[in-house]
Chain A
Amino acid sequence: MLFRDQIDFVRQHVKRNRMRVFTTILATTMGCAFLIVLASIAFGLQESLKNDILSDSAVTKIEVYGNDEKGIDQKAVKAIPNVQALVETTQFNEPLTANVKLENRSGSGEMVFTNFKEQQKAKIKLSAGTYPTKADEIIVGYNLGQNLLTKKEEQSAKEEGKKEEKNNKGYQHSLLGKTISLSFTLENEEEHTKVRQYKIVGIGEKPSKEWAMDTSIQISDAMKSNILNDYNGIVDKKVQEKDFYNVSYNAYATDMEAVKGVLKKLKAMNLSVYSVTEQLDQLNVFFLALKVGLIFVGTIAVLIASIGIFNTMTMAVTERTREIGVMKAIGAGPKLIQRLFIMESAYIGVLGTVIAIIISYIISFLANLALPKILDAVISDGGIEEAGIRFSTIPWELVVIASLISIGVAVLSGWRPARKATKIDVIQALHQE
């Protein structure tokens, strides 16, 4: 029998029992859609968390910590293959506030000393400008301008409270090319260090999250000793450089794939390391387990639906006993009979699955649209909508897995009835009315 004719044949039979087949397809659809939607939660949350982690910092970044007094052998780290840069960043150990002045505005930022050459090698992007080449050139965070307020603005911000914070836009123009004055004060004290002038030549990238603020002030390592001297000028007890500063290192791998190998080498050098990729690995293992678990639970729903398919097919075989007898008498072999019935249950499975996939996408879409709003309304300080969390994602892999499961189960549950059909005795079948 030609495949086309087989399909026609199956279609004809399906049409004759429209109601029964329809309800069976409905059950299959519900089972399969349940499976997809349930598992889509794991896929959605994983994606949300992954995006969250990845947007937080570069994937190629590896934080490196020395385990003993000696610290880090920078040359050795840079010599590791696929390490393209080792950026040294330095922060104050003391609670110093960086006071920024620009025109009639003032504010504060987070001070960091860094090696711009290495940053450039690490290909850390800027939103505007270039990397500094001179000691008095700096890079500032994307949001530093917002922190620079006039006296009046500061006053109104204090009065109206935190709620109005957003309305205060601070310095509206680009900071690029501007020269700021910078000095430092100890917490709760008036006296400040020598005021130095810096030229802003670069602006950092915009933070990936809406609510995040980057108000950093990056200054060349070359300034470290000068600023230490400034500080020692205002305090009674002089401090050493190694006590004043806190140095940390970030190695940058050439690409994400190279990170694993670099981590291994660093660990072998008896260094402590941290990379988001490690966090991602753990996350992936956790979500793999969750996905398998949810798909398993969803499969139970599909199995329940398969009981319906089994019943429908068994009834179909019983009802058509005489017709099967005639088919055999006029030349149909057992293989053809079996195939026709398996195709019929596969037809139910395929149709149910296709409808389920469509419905699942709709449900997933609506859930992502409505759930954050509902949760935000229920939870007072939600912010879920802003955070951009996806509750449900249906990647093609999930569609393939779910289709294989539900069509496979449909075919399996039609298998026994189909076998039964092949065993029908022609003589007895032809005696039936």
Chain B
Amino acid sequence: MIHIQNVSHTFTIGKKGSEKKIPVLKNISFEVAKGEIISIVGKSGSGKSTLLNAVAGFLKPEEGSIIIQGKETTTLTESEYAIFRSENIGFIFQNFQLMPGLTAFENIELPLKIQGIDKHRRFEIVNKIIRKVGLETVFDHYPNELSGGQQQRVCIARALITNPPIILADEPTGNLDSETEQEILQLIALLNESMDITFIIITHDEEVANIAHRKFLMHDGVLKEVVQHAV
């Protein structure tokens, strides 16, 4: 499903002449199978987000190859990637990234609008998802009228709406209290099971790591799988 091979990336900062090179990803290789939840943990600044951005196509790694659904993505143009992304990848953000001017319903609907799906179809699909993530009572609320947990549900629903096989999540519970966090994690586990969606979740949190099938540790740009010993 996802094959990542020898991916390296170095940021260059500062002015010309006095540039500083920051190697952030160092020869990273791993694979994710369909229907897997994997978690990536690691210290702040270790390069977790950068890795996820490379998988998402927001950043082109200097070296290596990223093959998703059998397609080499590092050579896609921006327009090609936009289409690829809208068909294959959903995102869950730490700070939800909802449109403040749109209701929960409209936020969830947005990816379908972008895909050019007509209003009737959209209405059907969105209503189904709203029931699935439990937003029936607040679908007409604007983001500032929703709790953190509800906002994250909207974000998850928006990620799910185009029925992508892969969802990438960068600290999805980072802004939530522990009780809400549990709800969201259960929702993710449920979606994974019922819809066979592959998740890559970045987290600081052991709780999150618990729902993962496999766990990776990022340390200074090097990714290692944490082998879980059978009890």
Contact = CB atoms under 8 A, between A and B. Distances in A.
Contact of A331 (B53, B82, B93, B101): B82
Nearest to B91: A329
B111 A331 contact: yes
A334 B78 CA distance: 7
A5 B113 contact: yes
Contacts of A2: 113, 116, 118
Given A332-B82, A334-B79, A430 B97 contact: yes
A330 B58 contact: no
A333 B79 contact: yes
Given A1-B113, A1-B116, A427-B53, A330 B93 contact: no
Interface string A311-336: 00000000000110111111111111
Contacts of A242: none
16 contacts: A1-B115, A2-B113, A12-B101, A322-B97, A325-B97, A329-B56, A329-B58, A329-B91, A330-B158, A331-B83, A331-B111, A331-B114, A332-B86, A334-B79, A334-B82, A426-B58
User: Which of A329, A333, A425, A427 is the most central at the interface, judged by chain B CB atoms within 10 Å of its CB?
Assistant: A329
Contact of A335 (B58, B79, B86, B158): B79
A16 interface: yes
Residue among A5, A16, A334 having the largest count of chain B Cβ atoms under 10 Å: A5
A427 B58 contact: yes
Nearest to A13: B101
Q: Is the interface of B mostly helix, strand, loop or mixed?
A: helix
Given A1-B116, A5-B113, A12-B101, A330 B91 contact: yes
Contacts of A334: 78-79, 82
Contacts of A430: 93, 97
B86 A331 contact: yes
A330 B111 contact: yes
B198 interface: no
B107 to A, nearest CB: 9
Nearest to B98: A326
Contacts of B97: 322, 325-326, 329, 430
Contacts of A9: 113
B94 to A, nearest CB: 10
Interface of A: 1-2, 5, 9, 12, 16, 322-323, 325-336, 425-427, 430
Contacts of B113: 1-2, 5, 9
Contacts of A425: 58
B189 interface: no
B226 interface: no
Most central of B59, B82, B97 by chain A CB within 10 Å: B82
Contacts of A333: 78-79, 82-83
B162 interface: yes
Q: Which of the four size classes fits the interface of chain B?
A: 20 to 34
Interface in B168-200: none
A296 B200 CA distance: 60
B99 A326 contact: yes
Contacts of B78: 333-334
Contact of B115 (A12, A331, A335, A426): A331
A336 B114 contact: yes
A5 B112 CA distance: 11
Given A336-B114, A427-B59, A430-B93, A328 B99 contact: no
A322 B58 CA distance: 14
A12 B91 CA distance: 24
Nearest to A323: B99
A66 B120 CA distance: 83
B125 to A, nearest CB: 15
A308 B32 CA distance: 51
A16 to B, nearest CB: 6
Contact of B101 (A1, A16, A325, A426): A16
- Listed from nearest, the 5 A-B pairs whose CB atoms lie closest are A331-B86, A333-B82, A426-B58, A330-B111, A333-B79
A252 to B, nearest CB: 66
Contacts of B118: 2
Nearest to A8: B113
A322 B95 CA distance: 12
Contacts of B115: 1, 331
A328 B91 CA distance: 11
Nearest to A15: B101
Nearest to A16: B101
Contacts of B59: 427
A323 B90 CA distance: 16
B30 to A, nearest CB: 21
Contacts of A322: 97
A426 B50 CA distance: 12
Given A1-B116, A323-B99, A430-B93, A330 B86 contact: yes
Contacts of B93: 430
A397 B140 CA distance: 48
Nearest to B53: A427
B79 to A, nearest CB: 5
Contacts of B82: 328, 331-334, 336
B214 interface: no
B110 interface: yes
B58 A1 contact: no
Contacts of B85: 329-331
A336 B97 CA distance: 20
A421 to B, nearest CB: 13
B97 to A, nearest CB: 5
